[in-house]
């Protein structure tokens, strides 16, 4: 739990002290900011896994403004709004600004903790899902840059990895040589070279050679496609 850092943006010192103490006892690391500018500085210089933001802050600022700012920087960071304003319009305003959840003061700490844990679980599930690219029995781990087919590891060079990732991001889609050159090499395709075909064959030999269901297919005169025959 200690690796989870929370930024608490709250101008009421009593509320901030209560929340920070409770979360610290639960094993979270908590940084406190009393206003928008302080919060911006914290977020710019440290990595947080979740933000708790009060909608009504000191110095004429508010959490809606901060929420919009955070969303411009990071559209995945979980944000939980804390506020004494409980009308539907206030909730809608917070959610439209990018908040993931909304908790009205006064609240029980147990409910706050449950909301935080739910947001963190959802974030972890989304990260895990986005980590892997899969098609049929072929899986690519985008964090570790490794590939497996039916549980068997496939050794890839850096360029082969980029090419296979491109196919897995575009399953069942015909990819022209020009498209592959642009996306995998960042170059204009020279029709006088066969580099695309050479590398596609490298990847195909590693991905398909030992398996009955061939996945990478040539469409003559048009390009290549990742497609299962099953």
Whether residue 147 sits in one domain with residue 200 = yes
For 158-210, write each residue's pLDDT tens digit: 999 999 999 999 999 999 988 998 888 876 656 567 888 999 999 999 999 98
Whether residue 148 sits in one domain with residue 215 = yes
Whether residue 153 sits in one domain with residue 85 = no
> DSSP character for 172?
T
Whether residue 91 sits in one domain with residue 17 = yes
Whether residue 109 sits in one domain with residue 16 = yes
Q: Please give the pLDDT value at position 219.
A: 95
pLDDT class of 13 with cuts at 50, 70, 90: very high
Whether residue 169 sits in one domain with residue 117 = no
Indicate the average pLDDT of the chain.
Answer: 89
Q: Could you say which of 68, 95, 130 is where a domain stops?
A: 130
Cis-peptide, bond into residue 83, ω within 30° of zero:
no
Q: Please give the pLDDT value at position 187.
A: 65
- Ranking 9-18, 82-91, 191-200 by mean pLDDT, the lowest is 82-91
* Mean local confidence (pLDDT), 59-68: 84
Q: What is the CATH number of the domain that holds 212?
A: 1.10.10.10
**In sequence order, what E strands does 84-193 have?**
101-104, 132-135, 138-141, 146-149, 152-154
The answer to whether 53 touches 78, Cβ cutoff 8 Å, is no
pLDDT class of 230 with cuts at 50, 70, 90: confident
Q: Please give the pLDDT value at position 140.
A: 94
- Ranking 21-30, 129-138, 145-154 by mean pLDDT, the lowest is 129-138
Whether residue 114 sits in one domain with residue 9 = yes
Q: Could you say which of 96, 130, 164 is where a domain stops?
A: 130
Whether residue 220 sits in one domain with residue 140 = yes
Whether residue 144 sits in one domain with residue 122 = no
15: burial class by Cβ within 10 Å (0-12, 13-18, 19+)?
middle
Q: Which domain holds residue 174?
A: 136-226
* pLDDT higher than threshold 70 for residue 72: yes
Residue linked to tokens 């015909």: 174
Q: Please give the pLDDT value at position 7.
A: 96
Report the number of distinct structural domains present in the chain. Answer: 2
Q: Please give the pLDDT value at position 143.
A: 86
Could you tell me the pTM of the whole model?
0.61
Q: Could you say which of 130, 161, 179 is where a domain stops?
A: 130
* Tally of residues, the chain: 230
Q: Please give the pLDDT value at position 99.
A: 92
Q: Please give the pLDDT value at position 2.
A: 47
For 94-115, write each residue's pLDDT tens digit: 888 899 999 988 899 999 999 9
Per-residue CA distances from 175 to 63, 71, 180, 183, 221 (Å): 45, 33, 7, 10, 11
Whether residue 37 sits in one domain with residue 87 = yes
Whether residue 68 sits in one domain with residue 160 = no
Whether residue 149 sits in one domain with residue 82 = no
Q: What is the CATH number of the domain that holds 78?
A: 3.40.50.2300
Q: Please give the pLDDT value at position 1.
A: 46
């Amino acid at each position: 739990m200690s690796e989870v850092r929370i930024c608490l943006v709250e101008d009421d010192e009593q509320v901030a002290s209560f929340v920070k103490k409770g979360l610290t006892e639960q094993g979270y690391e908590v940084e406190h900011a009393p206003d928008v500018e302080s919060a911006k500085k914290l977020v710019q210089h440290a990595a947080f896994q979740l933000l708790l933001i009060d909608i009504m802050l000191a110095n004429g600022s508010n959490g809606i403004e901060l929420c919009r700012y955070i969303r411009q920087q990071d559209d995945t960071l979980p944000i939980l709004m804390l506020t004494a304003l409980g009308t539907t319009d206030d909730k809608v305003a917070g959610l439209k600004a990018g908040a993931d959840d909304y908790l009205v003061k006064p609240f029980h700490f147990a409910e706050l903790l449950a909301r935080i844990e739910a947001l963190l679980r959802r974030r972890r599930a989304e990260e895990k899902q986005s980590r892997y690219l899969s098609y049929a029995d072929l899986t690519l781990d985008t964090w570790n840059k490794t590939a497996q087919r039916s549980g068997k590891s496939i050794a890839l060079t850096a360029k082969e990895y980029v090419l296979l990732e491109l196919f897995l991001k575009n399953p069942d889609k015909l990819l022209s040589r020009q498209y592959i050159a642009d996306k995998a090499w960042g170059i204009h395709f020279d029709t006088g070279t066969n580099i695309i075909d050479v590398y596609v064959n490298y990847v195909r030999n590693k991905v398909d050679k030992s398996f009955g269901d061939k996945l990478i297919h040539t469409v003559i005169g048009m390009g290549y496609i990742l497609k299962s025959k099953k």
